[in-house]
Amino acid sequence: MDVFANLATGFGAAVTPANLLFCLVGCLLGTLIGVLPGIGPIATIAMLLPITFGLDPLSSLIMLAGIYYGAQYGGSTTAILVNLPGETSSVITCIDGYQMARRGRAGAALTIAALGSFFAGCVGTVVIAAFAPMLAGFAEKFRSPEYFSLMLFGLVAAVVLANGSVLKAVAMVILGLLFGLVGTDTQAGVTRFTFGVSELYDGIDFVPLAMGLFGFAEMMGNLEKKLEDRSSTQKIDSLWPTREEAKLAVPAVLRGTAIGAFLGILPGGGAVMSSFASYTLEKKISKSRAMFGKGAVEGVAGPESANNAGAQTSFIPLLTLGIPSTPVMAIMVGAMMIQGIAPGTALLTEKPILFWGMIASMWIGNLMLVIINLPLIGLWVALLKVPYRLLFPCILILCCVGAYAISSSTFLVMMMAGMSVLGYTFNKLGCECAPFLLGFVLGPLMEENLRRSMVLSFGSPTIFVERPISLVLLLLSLLLLLMIVLPSFRKTREDAFQE
């Protein structure tokens, strides 16, 4: 009964004219950037962080969350219509979604994707409402040793689940940790790695770093690509699937939702990993494997449900433990800190209206997305024809204004430019920025909890193995490291990412 009472409180906070407006704006923006290739939710949320300074904390978080799960909806539209994934998690939808469109079933594919996403999003929100308080109650047992071990486990899991080379992922985590050390030591009061630059005494600012690594770097990468032929959009007839298509889609949606709800909770899981895992499963168990790659309904229903469920449940570690499980969640941590909110165990007890209001807004947002997505398909197709050379100056100006507005300092604009070069270099070297960002966000928190633990134990490191929860987390981290070393697991991991 407490859950229903809390949800009633949440809906009371979310269903206000202002919050409904921000939810709608977030959903529309998310769908738009999902449709437009080359922007993505990470870059968009990073660029919009300065806007949240003057907003109510709940309104700003509702809008940013709407952008994230709205992008999962929008990304499927272009993947199906023009074989162009607007969002990373929709890459897998291109394989069968576009083939369905070529067979004249674009409307059915879009409807299956939208309804599957709606169902998965609602289930993901139910999982948050049901299990988040339980996890928060468990998290109250955490002290500094447990937090340190948990963050260490999160970074190790991010390395295991990162795409590409394990060595590069480890290097990116370590580099992120080093960047997080820049600034003034809170305990000793001395500056570290500032090289005499007074603007760095408070550390590297999160907003220009995120905008440079993701917004600018993504834009630079897109400008050097050759123009895609976007004139091959398919004519959309009926929007409804046949009975046979529905019969194949429903079980795939249920399986995809279950996979996404589970993987979204894990560090490094989220929407992308969920959609790929769902497609792999559907391909293995389907009775009509020959149809995969030629327009299999399960190849659209499963991944699209999985990526939305994963997008929703990735909020659980953030809201209950304060641990960002994906790069987007790391940016959400930054947004909360800008508002003076400490994500974690205290959020549920000290700010219940914020916590439950955000959860309630996810149901409202999912409903809005279904209503706005199907009627606006024609508009999204028209937007695809806008040349990227006209889009990127707008993105450039928005980034620069946002960075300057933080403290009216040109130094942050220059910092953003430097980070964009760094992000572009990472992309060229095949290094993912996600482990770097997780290391940057978690680094200072890990250091703080490590030093607190050593103070509590009078300098003895045995405190990390004497406490049961901390010991279990360290053993899990060690297990993941051993799995990386094992040749059989390494081969399976490489095959999974290749597929």
Mean pLDDT of all residues in 337-345: 73
- Split at pLDDT 50, 70, 90, the class of 246 is confident
- Give the residue, 174 or 326, on which the prediction is more confident: 174
| CA proximity to 36, closest of 79, 100, 66, 68 | 79
Mean pLDDT of all residues in 416-444: 81
Residue 82's pLDDT is: 64
Residue 249's pLDDT is: 84
Structural domain span for residue 419? 2-498
Helices (H), 314-409: 315-321, 327-338, 345-350, 352-373, 377-383, 388-407
CA distance 77 to 253: 17
CA distance 108 to 346: 45
Residue 231's pLDDT is: 40
Lowest mean pLDDT among 123-127, 153-157, 265-269, 368-372: 265-269
pLDDT over threshold 70, residue 383: no
Strand partners, 191: 184
Sequence letter at residue 26:
G
Residue 232's pLDDT is: 43
- Split at pLDDT 50, 70, 90, the class of 371 is confident
Residue 139's pLDDT is: 58
Mean pLDDT of all residues in 62-72: 80
CA distance 26 to 127: 22
- Split at pLDDT 50, 70, 90, the class of 195 is confident
pLDDT over threshold 60, residue 86: no
CA distance 246 to 406: 50
Most confidently modeled of 56-60, 74-78, 254-258, 459-463? 254-258
Residue 102's pLDDT is: 73
Give the other-Cβ count within 10 Å of 355's Cβ: 25
| CA proximity to 361, closest of 134, 99, 68, 101 | 68
Mean pLDDT of all residues in 1-9: 74
- Give the residue, 255 or 74, on which the prediction is more confident: 255
Distances in whole angstroms, Cα of residue 420 to Cα of each of 34, 333, 354, 379: 22, 21, 33, 31
pLDDT over threshold 70, residue 163: no
pLDDT over threshold 80, residue 28: yes
Residue 230's pLDDT is: 39
Residue 233's pLDDT is: 44
- Rounded to 10 deg, the angle between the 388-407 and 40-48 helix axes is 40
- Give the residue, 166 or 304, on which the prediction is more confident: 304
CA distance 61 to 66: 8
Most confidently modeled of 52-66, 205-219, 246-260? 246-260
Strand partners, 192: 183
> pTM for the full model?
0.62
Cβ-based neighbours of 269, under 8 Å, separated by 6 or more: 161, 262, 263, 310, 314, 325, 326
Q: Go through 181-194 and write b for each residue having 16 or more CB atoms within 10 A of its CB, e for each that does not.
A: ebbeeeeeeebeeb
| CA proximity to 131, closest of 256, 260, 362, 316 | 316
Angle at 471 (CA atoms; ends 467, 473), nearest 5 degrees: 125
pLDDT over threshold 80, residue 148: yes
Mean pLDDT of all residues in 26-48: 73
Stretch (H or E) spanning 439: helix 433-456
Residue 402's pLDDT is: 66
The string of DSSP letters for 47-79 reads HHGGGGGGS-HHHHHHHHHHHHHHHHHHHHHHH
Considering its fold, how many domains does the chain have in total?
1
CA distance 210 to 480: 28
Burial of 459 (0-12, 13-18, 19+ CB in 10 A): exposed
Q: Torsions phi, psi of 20, nearest 5?
A: -65, -40
